[in-house]
Amino acid sequence: MEPKKNSSSRRKFLKKATLSTTAITIAPTIFANSKNQKLQLKRVYDNSSYVINDQINLGLIGSGIQGINDTNTAIKVAGVKIVAVCDLYTGRLDRAKELWGGDIFTTRDYRKLLNRNDIDAVIVATPDHWHKKIAIDALKAGKHVYCEKPMVHKWEDGQAIISAHKASGKICQIGSQGMASLGNEKAKQLYEDGAIGDIVMVDFYSDRFSSEGSWQYPIPPDATADSVDFDTFLGNAPKTPFELKRFFRWRNYQDYGTGIAGDLFVHAFSTLNHVISSHGPNRAQATGGLRYWKDGRDVPDVSLTLYDYPKTDTHAAFNAAFRINFIAGNGGGGGFKLTGTEGELHVGQNSVKLKRAKLGLVPQAYSLVAYTEETQKKIIADYDAQNLGSRNSQLNTGETSWKASNDYKGGHYDHFYNFFQAIRGKGKIIQDPTFGLRAGGASLLANYSYFGKKAVIWDPTAMKMI
């Protein structure tokens, strides 16, 4: 069988490989060569200063772990101030005043926050089963919305959020926090310039080895039926007796969260779909189980899912393998890589590594051993005549790494910077609700497959299961 000829992306990539030394010095090449390179990524921000009247006033709905991290990052962006916080546990409202000042408005009723005229934008960092209701209510109230991932608790929730966003005329950013990072930006550039050829395989894994990393968050001693509004927390979920574990460790329960898929897979899908300009996969097959953290949760702590991506105008058909292990005795770690016919991209928020190798097209001793010395000579001569071994001179090989400069503010900051710049009319958001549903819906296929014990089919363009 003849080797597959590469697409136009390879020709584009090879054209860049012919740049002169001077050009390479001025604008470093975006491909690896035989001498391993380490290059720097930098971001230039708009350093405008803002008076009080130009300030974006921010409200936080859901002041838990991610809500606090989101807000602390958001207020680092120039011209942004937190003015109001909503949470169903009064201890978090007290914490909000410790963090951001005793003069901020606090409430356990998010509607009171949305009714305030001094709030321009809100962060929705509630449990997943509240995302749809609060995001839509906020858009209807005339607020710009930053909604934490996954945008949806069930894929069926997505179209209502998309419609509300379109009708509102407001900005709605979905919060997969690494989306606007330098790493994603460079990986997208490399992919589009053909650095890895046609994509063949994607690998994503995340290992954890702690109770905290497995969602066994501490329960505060002052949490009681008086300080926690449990009935409101339940919302549209099935009614159940008061239980602090469900409130503080909600990720462990299908009624309120989306498990490993919605918490972690969604980040990989956001990056992947962005880098390769894809609508997502069309099939998923999941397995896994509850292996260690048998603490009452009804979601697995080990999850492995295979996804199929169909061929499109921006990528070849390929397969993706996503894996999470919450009891990894190796101590933990993670990785995300795209492997193609010409190379491999290792993608992180702050760094990207490109590896390219020579494709072995000429038979070696392993296969030639079965033939006589005379036949071996003829086979080698035949392959030499085809000039297949010239690939090494045509394509640069080796490893190139890009790493963000030490003063880089990070992907989380960039995602909020992108959100606030769009509010100010200085750009477009990078992850709108349609993008959010495609990433969130794809990730949740793992749950439908796992609990349904079968492969599931997804229409990535229409964003629905078939």
Per residue in 105-145, pLDDT (tens digit) is: 999 999 999 999 999 999 999 999 999 999 999 999 999 99
Is 431:176 a contact under the CB 8 Å cutoff? Answer: yes
Query: Omega before 281 cis (within 30°)?
Result: no
Q: Residue 404: which of 172, 109, 242, 180 has the closest Cα?
A: 180
Contact (Cβ atoms closer than 8 angstroms) between residue 203 and residue 19: no
pLDDT at 31 > cutoff 60: no
| pLDDT confidence bin for 389, thresholds 50/70/90 | low
Check if the beta carbon of residue 420 is closer than 8 Å to that of residue 135. Answer: no
- Going by pLDDT thresholds of 50, 70 and 90, the confidence category of residue 199 is very high
Range 189-196 average pLDDT: 95
| Least-confidence region, from 304-313, 364-373, 378-387, 450-459 | 378-387
Domain-wise residue ranges, the chain: 8-38+190-217+253-409+432-465
DSSP H/E element including 64: none
Band (pLDDT 50/70/90 cuts) for residue 341 is very high
Contact between 258 and 447 (Cβ < 8 Å):
yes
Q: Where are the beta strands (DSSP E) in 332-421?
A: 333-340, 344-347, 351-356, 398-404
Q: Is the pLDDT of residue 4 over 80?
A: no
Q: Mean pLDDT in the chain?
A: 91
Beginning with the edge strand found earlier in the chain, give each strand of the sheet holding 333-340 in spatial order: 37-41, 398-404, 351-356, 344-347, 333-340, 199-207, 318-325, 302-309, 283-289, 456-459, 464-465
> Which runs of consecutive H residues, i.e. helices, occur in 148-265?
158-168, 182-192, 230-234, 244-248, 259-260
Q: What is the CA radius of gyration of the chain?
A: 25
Residues 107/444, Cβ–Cβ less than 8 Å: no
| Chain center to CA of 234 | 27
H-type alpha helices, 34-88: 65-74
The mean-pLDDT minimum among 1-15, 99-113, 303-317 falls in 1-15
What's the CA gap between 300 and 290, in Å, rounded? 4
Q: State pLDDT tens for residues 347-365.
A: 999 999 999 988 888 899 9
* Model pLDDT for residues 231-247, shown as the tens digit of each residue: 999 999 999 999 999 99
Regarding predicted confidence, which is higher, 32 or 245? Answer: 245
Does 8-38+190-217+253-409+432-465 carry CATH code 3.30.360.10?
A: yes
Predicted pLDDT of residue 316: 98
pLDDT digits (tens, 9 = 90+) for 404-451: 999 999 999 999 999 999 999 999 999 999 999 999 999 999 999 999
pLDDT of residue 12: 52
- Written as one letter, the residue type at 383 is Y
Rounded to an integer, the average pLDDT of 197-203 is: 97
Q: How confident is the model at residue 15 (pLDDT cuts 50, 70, 90)?
A: very low
Q: Is 30 helix (H, G, I), strand (E, B) or coil?
A: coil
Please compute the mean of the pLDDT values over residues 373-391 and round it to a whole number: 83
Vertex 203: Cα angle to 199 and 206 (nearest 5): 155
pLDDT above 90: residue 34: no
* Whether 33 contacts 59, CB under 8 Å: no
Segment 244-272 mean pLDDT: 98
pLDDT grade, residue 33 (50/70/90)? low
Asked if residue 166 has pLDDT above 70, the reply is yes
The pTM of the whole model exceeds 0.85: yes
